[in-house]
Amino acid sequence: MQNVIKTVVFILLVSLSIEAKENRFTTSVSLLGMSMDYREYDRSGKILDSEMSSFTEMLGVDIGMSFLMYQTSDASTKLQTNLITLSGNTDYVGSALGSNNTYGSLTSRTVNNIIDFDVKIIRTKILTQALEVNYLLGLGYHYWDRQLSVSQVEGYEWYSLRAGVGLGYQISQKFKIATDLEYQYGFKHTMISSYPVLDVTLGSADIMKFSIPLRYTLNNKMDFVMSYIYEIQEIGASNVQTALYQGTYQGFYEPKSTAKNQYIKLGLDFKY
């Protein structure tokens, strides 16, 4: 068994050394700061509550890996996956559940945890020596844990089809700037609540993301990347569900919501 293990390890090391020469793999590690602007609305469009944060209040990491599947002199295709985790506090402004008080009658701090994961195929076409166009198609998963209080915790979850297009421009030998636009169409979108106990289906989950990444090549094995990301999120109102609340059964639903979030991303890409 030890000989088999040694042989497998040797083969892996040889394989990695061969791949390293071609830089077919890239691992990225980035720090994220998120500015959240989330709002919920009643059926007439009147605001019910909001969640706000600065870039330093919601922090996280983005860990990614990509594999160069195919490359010619003017085109390439790669498989890429990213895992994003964010956590922090937001300022809640709204009203007590079931109180019928106006927006702003209650303020508090909400504890948040966000997970986003995707796998996508990215196709790059070189148009000129300095200009390229990118297309992407993939699948994703998103989860937001929103702890409004010790007893009231809400979890938003959905899967998504993701498609996008982008342009990259090589400013100099080391500097590259790009603009990317991505649309996410959500499905199997749900929200669960601990109090009142609910498990409802959201009406929709549509997200549009616009990003401007700036890349600086440190050497042939490492890049520094800085990105600004602007995200627009629209969640449709859910179905009505009956739940026990304060001793009586009442009808509850998750209202329509929008979010206009911003991200600052700083990280390194390691090529091997």
Global pTM reads 0.89
Q: How confident is the model at residue 22 (pLDDT cuts 50, 70, 90)?
A: low
Range in 100-104, 187-191, 207-211 with the lowest mean pLDDT: 100-104
Residue 10 lies in a domain: no
118 to each of 6, 15, 225, how far by Cα in Å?
34, 26, 19
Residue 209 lies in a domain: yes
Q: How confident is the model at residue 18 (pLDDT cuts 50, 70, 90)?
A: very low
CB 214 within 8 A of CB 170: no
The pLDDT score that the predictor gives to residue 130 is: 96
Comparing C-alpha atoms, which of 71, 19, 29, 23 is closest to residue 219? 23
Q: What is the pLDDT of residues 72-109, one digit of tens each?
A: 999 999 999 999 999 999 999 999 887 889 999 999 99
The pLDDT score that the predictor gives to residue 98 is: 79
Instruction: Residue 183: give the domain boundaries.
Output: 25-271
For the chain, the average pLDDT equals 93
DSSP the chain: -HHHHHHHHHHHHHHHHHHHHHT-EEEEEEEEEEE-EEEEE-TTS-EEEEEE--TTTEEEEEEEEEEEEEE-SSEEEEEEEEEEEEEEEEEEEE--TTS-PPTTSEEEEEEEEEEEEEEEEEEEEE-SSSEEEEEEEEEEEEEEEEESSSS-EEEEEEEEEEEEEEEEEE-SSSEEEEEEEEEEEEEEEEEEEETTEEEEE-S-EEEEEEEEEEEEEEETTEEEEEEEEEEEEEE-----EEEEETTEEEEE-PPEEEEEEEEEEEEEEEE-
Q: What is the pLDDT of residues 211-235, one digit of tens each?
A: 999 999 999 999 999 999 999 999 9
Residue 263 lies in a domain: yes
Q: What is the pLDDT of residues 30-85, one digit of tens each?
A: 999 999 999 999 999 999 999 999 999 999 999 999 999 999 999 999 999 999 99
Residue 62 lies in a domain: yes
For residue 267, the domain's CATH number is 2.40.128.100
Residue 11 lies in a domain: no
1 against 85, higher pLDDT: 85
Residue 17 lies in a domain: no
Residue 8 lies in a domain: no
Tell me the average pLDDT across 234-254: 95
Our count of domains for the chain comes to: 1
11 against 154, higher pLDDT: 154
Residue 15 lies in a domain: no
